[in-house]
Amino acid sequence: MEPMAAEESLGHGLITIESDQQSADNSTGVVTASGNVRIVHADRGVVATSRQAQYFTKEERIVLRGDVDVVQNDGHALRADQVIYLLREDRAKAVPVEGGQVFSQWSLKDPSSGTEP
- pTM (two decimals): 0.79
Q: Give the end-to-end CA distance of the chain in Å, rounded to a whole number.
A: 46
117 burial (CB, 10 Å; 0-12 / 13-18 / 19+) is exposed
Strands 77-86 and 103-105: antiparallel
Strand ranges (E), the chain: 4-9, 14-19, 21-25, 30-41, 46-56, 61-72, 77-86, 91-95, 103-105
Q: What is the pLDDT of residues 61-74, one digit of tens each?
A: 999 999 999 999 99
Residue 111: band (very low, low, confident or very high) from pLDDT cuts 50, 70, 90: low
Q: What is the pLDDT of residues 7-37, one digit of tens each?
A: 444 445 788 999 999 999 999 999 999 999 9
Nearest Cα to Cα of residue 49 among 69, 79, 78: 69
Contact 111, 99 (CB under 8 A): no
Fold of 4-105: lipopolysaccharide transport protein A fold (2.60.450)
**Whether pLDDT at 77 is above 60:** yes
Q: What is the mean pLDDT of residues 88-99?
A: 93
Angle value at C-alpha 1, between 71 and 84, nearest 5 degrees? 35
Q: Give pLDDT, residue 116.
A: 53
